[in-house]
Structure 1
């Protein structure tokens, strides 16, 4: 979030050993995690990039596309526009398009299935047929669902992504994304819908209609704290993975794309995640809801609003470091009243020497009503003596 900023503190800076900058050990400089031509590892609690290779390069996500379908469904559930208990039927069109095609739940023509079951199938066995049935049922058509996916992508800032299907099936390159955009999608899904994420994502698999299928997540059961998120594969895209793991309140998200085999995808994903936890420490800066600073307010019943942490905020350091980051609040302002409590209006920038600054959201700690005539007069007089 560019624009006016309020400066909080200068503290001794620290050079992160981020492989994308060329810093770190000799082993890091020898192309770490080389099995993944596209790779990104981010500490979600600090927003800091721990490793990056071609993270802005566009690629075909294949079934990782289904994460956007899941996120959109979670958003609709939160808004009361979709219910896990709703049921949708496999239409003739969906049956023609997806019966016997790729990974699936083996849905039959006319079969009625709940949204909850569809989401479990999409998340854990990559059900192409389930994604199509959900799209038709929730939006009226696959085309309308895809339009909603793209609108949601723009809303959360996925500026280098476009979706042509709800499931990532090959579409001559109309569906594309970047590692940065996928990490952003993972952050928004987990931060906005932690309960739904925990319920639907990262299960062992799905047993539906007497057909048991396993989840092919490459880090689940291999990395402590791993809880998802989604694999992808087509001959055009290669093998990809958007994954996450949490240990002691610290969550890492990784993207590995365009690997040559499922084995390479597994090996590089496990190695990258373990390295992220082992090579870096995390220190708490603010707990969820903690006061961070103030922002100026224009035309409000009060002239400032407290800014608080939207989620626990940490800083990430190479293991054993005792240095501290530089913290800056940034926001476009002054903010204009009225403001609701919990509204995201600013970001805390965490700057460390030798690595790009990271930013995490800050929200309003209380509501600010629009000023009445008397309050506007007092604010105007106070402004004269600033």
Structure 2
């Protein structure tokens, strides 16, 4: 699956809603939960957690590791680097127990977060994707939602932790197995996954000239094939389409009706500059539509997501862009409601 994150266009998809085992791609959700906790103040990068005896029993040198020792105090910053750079199972468990009180509570939070993101076909049974008898599963579409949320909500943390070359800790230097970062222009992550049962998977992203692509691969036979497929799909996603600018960030592009508000209309804007991916040579006219469940109900907060813009036509994959309220609309007072009622009669 290949998606243009900027416009919401699906450039390529096959079995995007079919469930599969993500293996270590699971760690992206652990990283996202950590980012959310950092943003809310529940977690600090300078906090230190130790590998408890219980965690050591299950995860000391189990699978991919950053070679933590039982009782070793490690900052959250380093644990996240271990998770994102060298896929450390031990770091995932130490972070989970330290931040949430137990691994089980952390996994519960992962599942609550998945539900809040609309990941309807995903469930997590561990913080790191270790085989768990099928409890952990996801889909390409759900991973695309996760990647989009992480990059858009936490751009600084994403840039800090993903797409790095590797990690050295406790005398062990390890490389990142990401097949595109450092090899594809604009690539900056995200995470590979592999088990015998899952095969080779990859959730990746790359950005060029204001456009960002998100890629999902699953159940690939071997690592070289996964790498070649990832690089070829990213290059095709950029080279096969012209990016046409349609709106600038903050521009009011339409108005929506408001019910029971001090104003009867509210402006709609995009959160960022919007460009669409148009197949090279496709000159067909475009159809632009604004969709919302209307009229919108006051009160409405400026910046609240309230509508969706769609652009389609020709061979272009349909674009779906979220629209936000351009201003506050307060709930109507008693006299305004009476005035609105009279206006509706004539």
Q: TM-score range by the shorter chain?
A: over 0.9
Q: Give the TM-score of the pair, scaled to structure 2.
A: 0.96
- Of 189, 195, 211, 2:150 maps to 189
| Kept in 1: contact 2:279–2:315 (CA 8 A) | no
Counterparts of 1:121 and 1:352 in 2: how far apart (Å)?
A: 45
- Of 304, 312, 318, 1:357 maps to 318
Q: Give the secondary-structure state (helix, strand or coil) at the position aligned to 1:83.
A: coil
Show the counterpart of 2:289: 328
Q: Deviations over 1:327-371 (max 9, x none)?
A: 111112222222221111111112234566342211111122222
Show the counterpart of 1:313: 274
1:164 aligns to 2:107 (yes or no): no
Deviation at 1:203, TM superposition (A): 0.8
| Kept in 1: contact 2:259–2:297 (CA 8 A) | yes
| Kept in 2: contact 1:63–1:169 (CA 8 A) | yes
| Kept in 1: contact 2:21–2:198 (CA 8 A) | yes
Counterparts of 2:247 and 2:233 in 1: how far apart (Å)?
A: 27
Q: Greater shift after overlay, 81-90 or 95-104?
A: 81-90
Q: Deviations over 1:128-179 (max 9, x none)?
A: 1111111111111111111111111111111111111111000111101111
1:274 aligns to 2:239 (yes or no): no
Q: Give the secondary-structure state (helix, strand or coil) at the position aligned to 1:293.
A: strand
Gaps of 5+ in 1: 1-39
Counterparts of 2:317 and 2:234 in 1: how far apart (Å)?
A: 20
Show the counterpart of 1:97: 58
| Kept in 1: contact 2:284–2:313 (CA 8 A) | no
| Kept in 1: contact 2:9–2:319 (CA 8 A) | yes
Counterparts of 1:270 and 1:245 in 2: how far apart (Å)?
A: 10
Deviation at 1:381, TM superposition (A): 2.4
- Of 24, 43, 51, 1:63 maps to 24
Q: Deviations over 1:254-285 (max 9, x none)?
A: 11111111101001101111111111111111
Q: Greater shift after overlay, 243-252 or 293-302?
A: 293-302
Q: Give the TM-score of the pair, scaled to structure 1.
A: 0.87
Deviation at 1:208, TM superposition (A): 2.2
Matched length: 346
Q: Give the secondary-structure state (helix, strand or coil) at the position aligned to 1:162.
A: coil
Indicate the structure whose relative CO is greater, using CA pairs within 8 Å and at least 6 residues apart: 1
Counterparts of 2:274 and 2:12 in 1: how far apart (Å)?
A: 20
- Of 130, 133, 136, 2:94 maps to 133
| Kept in 2: contact 1:124–1:202 (CA 8 A) | yes
Counterparts of 1:151 and 1:220 in 2: how far apart (Å)?
A: 30
Show the counterpart of 1:369: 330
Gaps of 5+ in 2: none
